[in-house]
Amino acid sequence: MKNDYLSRIENAKVYDVARKTELEKARDLSARFQNTILLKREDSQPVFSFKLRGAYNKMAGLSPAALKKGVIAASAGNHAQGVALSAAKLKCKAVIVMPITTPQVKIDAVKAHGGKWVELVLTGDSYSDAYQEAQLLQKKKGYTFIHPFDDPDVIAGQGTIAKEILDQHPDPIDAIFVAIGGGGLISGIGAYIKSVRPKIKVIGVQTVDSDAMKQSLQLGKRVELKEVGLFSDGTAVKQVGKETFKICQQVVDDIVLVDTDEICAAINDVFTDTRSILEPAGALAIAGLKKYVEKHHLKKKTLVAIACGANMNFSRLRFVAERADVGEFREAIFAVTIPEERGSFKAFCKMLGKRNVTEFNYRIAHADQAHIFVGIGTQRAGDNKTIASAFRKAGFATIDLSHDELAKTHLRHMVGGSSALAKDELLYRFEFPERPGALMRFLDSLAPNWNISLFHYRNHGADYGQILLGIQVPKNEQPAFKQFLKTLGYPHWDESTNPAYRLFLK
């Protein structure tokens, strides 16, 4: 089977629309992990993903009669763009069925690439839902179905990536890491690699909540997942293909599973090295490579990761930035309980020492206890346990939330609310230069005379940090408080009459 694909790949017709993408060294990643890490930049294709290779190879091989009748495809987005561009190139009608969950950037791109040659249908929540609808339309209209992964011509088109890698780097390669959705990309790459350079390991990467291929290979038969995670929408496939499963049984050496935080960290890593922003599925291979290197303690190896797509919605970047530090073990988050008494808040802060505080959320809620949501900068995996242990030894009840999905996604934004205990509360917003230790200097400058009833700070990586502070100041002491603000030396704004504050926090 591998040798059959070798011939198919070497004769694949892809370069009418695709380009030979760069194989470039990720300098920061290579230095950090002490291996030579090379990125195959499929994100730089005209449709910002590898998918046009397989789509065009399939469509270019159709008869004139089949092209005249038209084609149909189901896709989570990137395959759709490949089909759309191929349809415009070949002047062939293409009906494309996509999940409703597809990022808008991919929907808009399909329309732009296909123009008048494309008809778009949105249905269902996953690729599998779109696939079922496309099958119905194909039977009804007689179109040729262009499968996104389970077709020999599509697989061969994707396999041209492997040929380029070996041409570009004839020196030894220890492993190639490839994202897996339905299995088309890794099947094409694996079939070529194992035919030409069989000692190179081919390692697949999937998300923990969309691991159909890993489960299938473990059981020796294709399994169908009931649900799939949608963050990495490009690999959200409930069941892998029949052909891709057969090939993967022969060519895949291992599969690594990664979570959302690890993907976000990988997106950040690639941006640091290339100033390019990958989509979640596009960064999957890099996330898996990092995890594999750390697990197996690899040093001085040459490793390739396929950066396979960059169709990222801009609005998603906020989430990615929020979660990247946790995925890179650069942030740990905790719920800490301290006594609700004057000075305890500051005492807790002093206990943090020189650690970088990334987030601080607090709202007075109980007469005897205060609950704080705090994020702390870390250097490596396991630091969260060390910090939690130190808090507990100091007498502070502590819950480590670093791997708690509810806390990371929702609760960190919900700490607060109105409080009956917040008597004589004034609300101020402060701004200060963001540099190491700046938050602690701000806290040290606060007079101990007044009780802090609300505190919110989040390090966003900007030049200036912002703090929202609720402080209980009796009316007869407010002149003294205002005089204190003048000596504080930080820009500040009185938000005590802000209507949003009165509605949600007062």
Contacts of 404 (CB under 8 A, 6+ apart): 333
Lay out the sheet containing 451-458: strands in order across.
397-400, 331-339, 369-377, 357-363, 451-458, 464-472, 425-433, 492-494
pLDDT at 384 over 60: yes
Q: What is the pLDDT of residue 113?
A: 94
Q: Which CATH class is domain 2-49+152-321?
A: alpha beta
Say if strands 451-458 and 357-363 run parallel, antiparallel, or are unpaired.
antiparallel
Q: Which CATH class is domain 329-504?
A: alpha beta
Rounded-to-10 torsion of CA 244, 249, 254, 256 = 40
Yes or no: domain 51-145 corresponds to CATH 3.40.50.150: no
Q: Where in the chain is the domain with CATH 3.40.1020.10?
A: 329-504
Average pLDDT over residues 297-316: 93
Q: Where in the chain is the domain with CATH 3.40.50.1100?
A: 2-49+152-321, 51-145
Q: How confident is the model at residue 3 (pLDDT cuts 50, 70, 90)?
A: low
SS3 breakdown of the chain: % helix, strand, coil, rounded to 5? 45, 20, 35
Top pLDDT among 149 and 492 is at 149
Number of H helices, E strands in the chain: 20, 18
Average pLDDT over residues 247-256: 98
DSSP notation for 361-397: EEE---SSEEEEEEEEE-SSTTHHHHHHHHHHHTT-E
Average pLDDT over residues 8-16: 96
pTM of the predicted model as reported, rounded to 2 decimal places: 0.80
Closest CA to 167 of 2, 268, 40: 40
- Look over the chain and give the mean of its residue pLDDT values, rounded to a whole number: 89
